[in-house]
Amino acid sequence: MIEREKLPDHWEVVPLRRILRKLARPLCSHFGVVTAYRDGVVTLRSSRRAEGYTVSDTESGYQGVEHGDLVFHALDGFAGAVGVSDASGKCTPVYHVCEAPHGDDLRFVAQVLRAMGSSGFLALQSGTVRQRSVDFRTWDALGRIAFPRPPREEQRALVEFLDRETNRIDAVVKRKRTLVSLLDERRIAATDALILGEKASTRPVAALANYVNGWAFKPDDFTPSGLPVVRISQLTDDQAAVDLYDGDLPDSVRLRDGDLVFSWSASLEVRVWNRGPAFLNQHLFRVVPANGIDNAWLRFALDAATRQFVGLMQGSAMTHITQPMMKLVRLPVPSPRRQRYVAEKLRSESDRVEQTVERLKRQISLLDEHRQAFVMFAVTGQLDLTKSVA
């Protein structure tokens, strides 16, 4: 990322330690915990969410953070966990809390560090040999990084310009994400209306099919070649990395195109598999419809059932579906002819929604790439901001 010949002549390239000074602020135990998130926001945990964190009982090594400090996560900073804190509080020793003793704009410094992370530059500079591990817990490792340094007035102008432009991009992305959510709500409403609104006798979910659990693979089972092993991540994301297995397993855990798969643990998902032969991992059911149950209808019926299961799990520590739940949740089951009609209607609606959602997701991805490239050009001096600086 740092190519001196491509930077403006009046910019310096200096070690980061000449711009930042690491602090050791005293700890105020009554303050809330500050976290640097991968989207560049540094704030109190209570401002984001209350659960899902690792909590220390002793707070050993915790340090103080003041509003306006630059906070860099030594292990996740390469992935964007760096920014200027918008609150005072305390943080763990895995963070570097810094000030700019010579008046450099910390917002600019944070933008450059985030750009270095997204470009892979920080990973290269860390010297860590472990794959997918970037460690800057020693201050010297971070402080020696070569850093582009425009004059302070230009730093401020660059940050203000970037704030304006990236806010515009972020607003467009937010609108598109909102539209994705609304389309998903529309799909859910259509499914629930047709499946749950049927005037037919009900049957328990357990009676609608034979639910065959996948194979309990161990980490050392996987082989260099063979069929892919499908977990929840591969079920929901066709780009997710896969493990392979080249061996003999029961035919019941083999997936073929057209098979219905139901994730019953952690994340409740229903999918029709269409990516060729594969093996099914545990915590996923291969669903074999019972007599008189249409496979296409069952896909949408189980999707509607997932929302009934979630209701049963509220207030419970359970993160998976149990056999009693599958007997307790009942769905209206119309005639096979009506099942086929409902399935075709929902398939048509679902296809339209999915195509629109995929188009929106591609647009969001392109906007994210444009944002990253735009920031990169700005913080490396490749945008002419003479008028902005003036």
Asked whether the predicted pLDDT for residue 1 surpasses 90, the reply is no
Three-state secondary structure of 133-157: CCCCCCHHHHHCCEEEECCHHHHHH
- The band of 27, judged by pLDDT with boundaries at 50, 70 and 90, is confident
Q: Which of 48, 61, 47 has the alpha carbon at shortest distance from 92?
A: 61
Q: Which of 217, 287, 239 has the alpha carbon at shortest distance from 259?
A: 287
- The band of 29, judged by pLDDT with boundaries at 50, 70 and 90, is low
Distance, C-alpha 17 to centroid of its chain: 32
What is the pLDDT averaged over residues 229-240?
Answer: 89
The whole-number pLDDT of residue 159 equals 93
pLDDT per residue over 315-360, tens digit each?
455 568 888 889 999 999 999 999 999 999 999 999 999 999 999 9
Q: What is the DSSP letter of 303?
A: H
Contacts of 248 (CB under 8 A, 6+ apart): none
- The band of 42, judged by pLDDT with boundaries at 50, 70 and 90, is very high
| Mean pLDDT taken over the chain | 90
- The band of 388, judged by pLDDT with boundaries at 50, 70 and 90, is very low
Distance CA 242, CA 240 (A): 6
The whole-number pLDDT of residue 31 equals 83
- The band of 311, judged by pLDDT with boundaries at 50, 70 and 90, is confident
pLDDT per residue over 189-216, tens digit each?
999 999 999 999 999 999 999 999 999 9
Contacts of 310 (CB under 8 A, 6+ apart): 268
What is the pLDDT averaged over residues 160-170?
Answer: 93
The whole-number pLDDT of residue 139 equals 94
- The band of 56, judged by pLDDT with boundaries at 50, 70 and 90, is low
In DSSP notation, 350-374 reads HHHHHHHHHHHHHHHHHHHHHHHHH
Distance, C-alpha 95 to centroid of its chain: 22
Asked whether the predicted pLDDT for residue 130 surpasses 70, the reply is no
Exposure string (b/e) for 129-149, b if CB count within 10 Å is 16 or more? eeeeebebeebebbbebebbb
Distance CA 326, CA 268 (A): 13
Asked whether the predicted pLDDT for residue 51 surpasses 80, the reply is no
294 phi/psi in degrees, rounded to 5:
-80, 130
Tokens of 226: 């063979």
Neighbours of 115 (CB within 10 A): 23
The whole-number pLDDT of residue 284 equals 94
- The band of 64, judged by pLDDT with boundaries at 50, 70 and 90, is very high
The amino acid present at 190, given as its one-letter code, is: A
Distance CA 130, CA 372 (A): 26
Pairing outcome for strands 21-22 and 95-99: antiparallel
Asked whether the predicted pLDDT for residue 118 surpasses 70, the reply is yes
Asked whether the predicted pLDDT for residue 103 surpasses 80, the reply is yes
What's the farthest any 2 CA atoms get from each other in the chain? Answer: 79
* Angle at the Cα of 47 from the Cα atoms of 44 and 53, rounded to 5 degrees: 70
Least confident stretch, 206-220, 226-240, 280-294, 301-315: 301-315
Distance CA 195, CA 271 (A): 17
Q: Are 304 and 331 in contact (CB under 8 A)?
A: yes
Contacts of 134 (CB under 8 A, 6+ apart): 75, 77, 78, 79, 122, 123, 126, 128
Three-state SS at 214: coil
Three-state SS at 15: strand
In DSSP notation, 80-134 reads T-EEEBSS-EEE-TTEEEEE-TT---HHHHHHHHHHHHHTTHHHHHS---STT--
Tokens of 83: 């920014």
Asked whether the predicted pLDDT for residue 389 surpasses 50, the reply is no
326 phi/psi in degrees, rounded to 5:
-70, -25
Distance CA 223, CA 373 (A): 39
Distance CA 250, CA 284 (A): 15
